Every structure is written in structure tokens, then in C-alpha cells.
Chain A
Amino acid sequence: MSLHSTNRARPRKPWQWIDIRGRRTGMWAFALNRLTGIGLVVYLYLHFVMLSQLFMGRAAWDGFVELAHSPLVLAFDVVLFAGLIIHGLNGFRVALNGFGIGVRQQKTFFYGLMAVGALLLAISTYLIFTL
């Protein structure tokens, strides 16, 4: 038995991964996970670029640290935390669904976790701008 068939090609449209027009909660959650996932991968590379400042001596690193405390970069930190929280909590929901937990309640589960996420993000934002 095989899962594959040999039908003629049909158009592939990966942009439909984030096409939420007329779609419902599960699709919004799916699109959010895609977008935050891509964002986190981009951030990872950006993070390596930032760390590479260490190879350029103390002055370069100190300059970067000063930049990292600017309000604009702190705002980016908030966006980063939002991505981490949304992706992490949503991934947790999908993983539990895979164990058969909360499948029928997946929408409530999503909204509940996003409410938790909003609370975590509010606390994170406060700490980022005050510590």
C-alpha cells in the first residue's frame, strides 16, 4: 500500500498557508504559527550576527550593548517575545492535540492559551522596559 498517487501536477500555492480570508480559528492559529516560526528563524540568524560583535573587540561589543538598550531595540524585544510566546503556546496546543487531548476543544484551547500569552507578554513588556 502507498500513500502516493501519480496524478498530473496541480498548481502549488504555498502563499495559501497564510491566506486566512474566510477561514476560521484553526487556520488563524496555523498562519500565526507559520509567521512566528519564520520570524524566529530570521531572528536566530540576526542573533548570530549580533554575537559576532564579540569577535570585533570590546569597543564594538559595548557599542552594541548600548544600542540594545535603545527604546527601538527594546520594542523589537517585545515583538520577539510575542513571537516566542505565540509559537510556543500554539505548538504546545498542537502537540497535545496529537496526543488526543483537547481536539474537540481546540478553539477554546487556542483562545485560552492566547489569553495566557497576552498576560505573559504584558509582564514581559513591563520587565523589558523597566529592568
Chain B
Amino acid sequence: MPKLHVRVLRQRPDTQARYDHFDVEVPDDANVIDVIEACWRQDQNLMYRHACHHASCGTCAVRVDGKEVLPCIVPLTACKSTDLVIEPLRNFPVVGDLVVDVSAFFQRQAAAGMVITRDAEETIDGHPFQPSELLQSDGKLERRHYNRFENCVECGICLSACPTLSATDGFFGPAGLAAVHRAWEKSTNATERAALLDLADRDGGVWQCHGAYECSEACPQEFDPAEAIMDLRRALIQRKVAALFGGGR
């Protein structure tokens, strides 16, 4: 059983942030969430969130040694040392300790009419995928580009990793723009596609992204929001150039 020294950033909205130190022992095959739970057993005032324990709910997202992770799927063996620093996600208001208020994330999706829906079972033309169609021999999704966003577990990690959001509230953020991209890609209605591009073109849209690609690097589901943002930019540039020469809008 490895012995760990853990520093956890403790805070409430009205108190000064501080690091509390915990010495814990966990099994060799433990994940980081087990370490957090071991800390909680020592101090049950420690606030953290968790639910599924297998990376499908996204609620437990925190930063471990500065990097955003889902602690439920990160084994201790992936950590570089037995000293861990566990902190809440960045760029969100802190509710308490490791719990942040992610409601902005969901409200922005809703405000843009882009509430994430899980309808990956159907293709653009309404065809239901069969598992055999989805998987190649290496286990990757065949229609990967289209299906990618269905992998999003809405954990908020990409917003925490985004340097633009460190300085502004105005940016829609990687997950939201990726949702716009997905809807744009999926839609076959020209008016709807134009409206989605208009949305991406607004203040706080794709032009505010500075291309640090941290969202894609940090995503635990290997979804690629940065690529989606750059693809929206490409489509917008194409549309603007076409408009210069009298074509389209």
C-alpha cells in the first residue's frame, strides 16, 4: 500500500484559500479518486463531487499536480510522485474545496440553444448505427469525426484548461463552440447552418480562441474542441471570402 502525502486546496467563497496536508495509504491499484476519498475519511468537511466512478458523468473533475483530470480514471501509477497536489478546476467560481460551480457551462449551452443531447445512435440521415459499423479493428469509432462530440461528458475540464477563459468571462469556451460545430456539421438545413455560423462569428465566439490547444490536450475523452473551433473559423473565412465576391452570405 503506497503512502502518499497529499495537499488539497481548501476554500469556501468567503474564506481564504489554504492547503491542507493529508497522509494517506491506498491500495496499489487505487485511482486518484480513492486518494481524495481517503482524505475525506480524515476530514469529512472536505467537499468534492463524484458519482459514476467510471468517467461517464464528468462530475469529479479536478486538477492533480496542475493538470485537469477525471480522478476516477487516473491510476496512481500515472502520478509522478507520492506527493500530490489536488486543486479544483480553474475558471469556475468555487463552491467549496474541490467543488466548482459549473452552471455557467450548462447555461451557456442552453443560451445558445445547444443543450448537449446524446443522439449518437442515429446518423445524419436517421440511420441507426450498429455496433459493427461503429468499430474498426483497433476499436476506434469509424465515423469518428461525426461521433466525437458524443464522447463529451460535460466535465468542464476544457474550460479549466483554456487560457483565454482565465482573463475573460465573454468567451463561449471550447465545449460550447464544439457543440455549435457539431450542430453545424450535423444540420442539412441551410438557414440553420448559416445561423450557427453567425453564432460562432459573434463576440465571444471562435475568434476569441487564441489557439493554445490546451482544451484538446486536457480532454479526458480525447474529444478535440480546438479542431472544431478551427473548422468553424475555416468555414467562416470561406463564407466571408465568398461574400466578398458576391456569393453566399
Contacts and interface: CB of A to CB of B under 8 A. Distances in A.
The judgment on whether A and B are partners is yes
Interface string A1-27: 111111111111111110101111111
Contacts of A16: 90, 163, 166-167
B234 to A, nearest CB: 3
Contacts of B170: 3-4
A98 interface: yes
Nearest to A101: B234
Contacts of B104: 5, 7, 10
A106 interface: yes
B210 interface: yes
Contact of A1 (B90, B111, B226, B234): B111
A103 interface: yes
A53 interface: no
A2 B234 contact: no
Contact of B199 (A3, A15, A25, A26): A3
Interface stretch (B18-26, B53-61, B200-208): B200-208
A14 B90 CA distance: 12
A80 interface: no
A55 interface: no
Interface residues of A, number: 36
A58 interface: no
Q: From DSSP, what is the main secondary structure of chain B's interface residues?
A: loop
B111 A29 contact: no
Contact of A17 (B101, B166, B237): B166
Contacts of A3: 108, 111-112, 170, 172, 176, 199, 202-205
A99 interface: yes
Contacts of A9: 93, 169
Nearest to B228: A103
A89 interface: no
A130 to B, nearest CB: 37
A104 interface: yes
Interface string B81-109: 00000000011110000000101100110
A21 B67 CA distance: 9
A27 B204 CA distance: 20
A37 B93 CA distance: 30
Given A3-B202, A12-B166, 9 more contacts: A1-B199, A6-B107, A7-B107, A17-B166, A97-B211, A100-B230, A100-B231, A103-B230, A103-B231
Interface of A: 1-17, 19, 21-27, 29-30, 33, 94, 97-100, 103-104, 106
21 contacts: A2-B202, A3-B170, A3-B203, A3-B205, A5-B104, A7-B101, A9-B93, A16-B163, A16-B167, A21-B66, A24-B213, A24-B214, A26-B212, A30-B212, A94-B210, A98-B211, A98-B233, A100-B234, A103-B226, A103-B230, A106-B213
